[in-house]
Amino acid sequence: MLKPIALVGPTASGKTAIALAIAETFPVEIISIDSALVYRGMDIGTAKPSAQERAQVSHHLIDIREPTQTYNAADFVNDAQHLIAEIQACGKLPLLVGGTMLYLKALQDGIDDLPKTDAATREAIETRAKANGWPAMHEELRKVDPLTAARLAPNDAQRISRALEVWHISGKSLSAWFEEGANKRLDTQCTTASGTDIDVISLEPNDRAWLHTRIEQRFTAMLTAGFLEEMQTLRARGDLTPDLPSMRCVGYRQAWEQMDAMQLQGIHSQEMLVNLQETAVAATRQLAKRQLTWLRSMPERHIIACDSVDPTAQALTLVHSFIAKGL
């Protein structure tokens, strides 16, 4: 049975291309670790693998939800654990690919022991958020759980709400719960009752400016590919709002805000494009920073410099060594 491997890294670090190269060399099926790729109709702004790329190797957990629906870490862990077992039963290697580090952390350390959702507590948090705004709730979270707060955007309502809920219910921070799960996993050196043992390959830049340039170039390419048209189609559905988790994804949130500004304030389309480019690129760089913060909390990861000469060859060597070690 082949042990799962995760290929992770900040946005625009080259995960998709390296994952496809791994798939050309080893018998793998890819499980997406990306909270945005689950949504149907959100293709360009999420840099979703193309139909041609997905035809090269089986991909899972892509296009499994409508943008009106939610999908959380517990959903991911449940889905991923079942998929890992199915892929292993076929004699293949489960390759988890993406940048939603909370999902990977939950899968590794387990979330079975986390407090269950409490409707009254969540309602109280959302009431305060409506009055004060999610940045204020993010600041509240920072005071009780600075590690989790550092990994979340100030407007990440769903995850801020859950982290505060865990704190209020249990008196213990979400990061403390995850640390306990990690310690259990390290003590057993194998799959725990709720966690999954995974070899982690992490793509991280030596030069942050290299990643920033890639982020800017990729967003420009998204605009050329029709991202605004994709947003117009989503808005035209009539059942989406900017408060939904899907529409709070980086890029989509900024596009929604700029389109609103163009309609309400009469901003010219060219000015809107300039504003969108600036705000979306800045937000994506902040996302990459938070992703790297998550990665630094994973000491067992195997780091490959994504801005080095041949990161693909390094990744293939690592995968070969992991497989050989498990045989």
Is 222 part of a structural domain of the chain?
A: yes
Is 167 part of a structural domain of the chain?
A: yes
Both 175 and 227 in one domain: the answer is no
Q: Residue 166 belongs to a domain with what CATH number? A: 1.10.20.140
Ramachandran assignment for 3, one of left (phi > 0), alpha (psi -120 to 50 degrees), beta (any other): beta
- 263: tokens are 């309609």
Both 214 and 268 in one domain: the answer is yes
pLDDT of amino acid 187:
55
Is 149 part of a structural domain of the chain?
A: yes
3-state secondary structure 239-256: CCCCCCCHHHCCCHHHHH
Both 214 and 280 in one domain: the answer is yes
pLDDT of amino acid 180:
74
- 297: tokens are 């909390």
Q: Residue 275 belongs to a domain with what CATH number? A: 1.10.287.890
pLDDT of amino acid 299:
86
Is 104 part of a structural domain of the chain?
A: no
pLDDT of amino acid 264:
73
Note the helical H segments in the chain. 15-25, 51-56, 73-89, 101-109, 119-132, 134-144, 146-150, 157-170, 174-188, 208-225, 227-236, 252-265, 269-296, 311-326
pLDDT of amino acid 190:
43
Print the domain residue range for 221: 209-284
pLDDT of amino acid 183:
65
Mean pLDDT, consecutive 10-residue stretches, the chain (327 aa), reads 96 97 97 98 97 96 97 93 96 97 90 76 91 94 92 87 90 83 55 73 97 97 96 96 94 94 76 92 96 91 96 98 86
Residue at which a domain ends, from 252, 269, 284: 284
Both 227 and 175 in one domain: the answer is no
Both 217 and 275 in one domain: the answer is yes
Both 214 and 176 in one domain: the answer is no
pTM for the structure as a whole: 0.83
pLDDT of amino acid 194:
58
Both 214 and 279 in one domain: the answer is yes
pLDDT of amino acid 193:
43
| Predicted confidence (pLDDT) per residue in 235-270, tens digit | 999 999 998 999 999 999 999 999 998 877 766 688
State residue 98 phi and psi, 5-degree precision: 160, -170
Is 87 part of a structural domain of the chain?
A: no
Is 45 part of a structural domain of the chain?
A: no
- 258: tokens are 């700029």
Domains: count for the chain: 2
Is 241 part of a structural domain of the chain?
A: yes
State residue 65 phi and psi, 5-degree precision: -140, 150
pLDDT of amino acid 327:
61
Is 201 part of a structural domain of the chain?
A: no
Sign of CA dihedral 146, 100, 116, 121: positive
Both 219 and 153 in one domain: the answer is no
Both 129 and 175 in one domain: the answer is yes
